[in-house]
């Protein structure tokens, strides 16, 4: 079974360092340690990498699930839904990229 990568890029309405840190903290609190999650990381845009292909965002979320079923459970998990409810007002743009991972 293929692992599933769930990558989310958030652009915030308030792009201050404090607002970015608040979302990073919420990601750690609500989105890590879900059943079937085999990889988890969060990040911020490296503003020094100013190339045409780089997209503008503030916070990135990277989750690797053991399979599609684990991803689907995560989507309806109480902590995931609480994260959305408590943070969605601060989001200007959210881009989600889901992909099946192929072993090299």
**For 31-56, how does the pLDDT look when each residue is reduced to its tens digit (9 = 90+)?**
999 999 999 999 999 888 888 777 88
Residue-averaged pLDDT of the chain: 95
Q: Cα 32–28–37 angle (5° rounding)?
A: 15
Q: List the domain range (segments joined by +) for residue 38.
A: 1-47+74-104
Is 80 inside a domain boundary?
A: yes
Is 89 inside a domain boundary?
A: yes
Residue 104: pLDDT over 80: no
Whichever domain contains 12, its CATH number is 3.30.70.100
**Which residue in this structure is represented by tokens 């845009």?**
45
Among the listed residues 89, 96, 95, 84, the one whose alpha carbon sits nearest the alpha carbon of residue 14 = 89
| pLDDT score for 15 | 96
> Greater confidence, 55 or 28?
28
Is 4 inside a domain boundary?
A: yes
Is 79 inside a domain boundary?
A: yes
| pLDDT score for 70 | 98
- Dihedral angle at the C-alpha atoms of 24, 72, 92, 41, nearest 10 degrees? 30
Is 40 inside a domain boundary?
A: yes
Is 54 inside a domain boundary?
A: no
Count of domains for the chain: 1
Is 97 inside a domain boundary?
A: yes
Query: First vs last Cα of the chain: how many Å apart?
Result: 14
């Amino acid at each position: 079974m293929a692992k599933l990568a769930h990558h989310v890029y958030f652009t915030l309405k308030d792009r201050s360092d404090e607002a970015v840190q608040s979302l990073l903290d919420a990601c750690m609190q609500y989105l890590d340690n879900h059943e079937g999650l085999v990889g988890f990381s969060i990040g911020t845009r490296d503003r020094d990498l100013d190339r045409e292909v780089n997209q503008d965002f503030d916070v990135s979320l990277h989750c690797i699930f053991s399979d599609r079923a684990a991803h689907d459970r995560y989507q309806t998990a109480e902590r995931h839904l609480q994260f959305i409810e408590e943070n969605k007002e601060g989001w200007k743009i959210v881009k989600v990229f889901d992909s099946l991972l192929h072993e090299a």
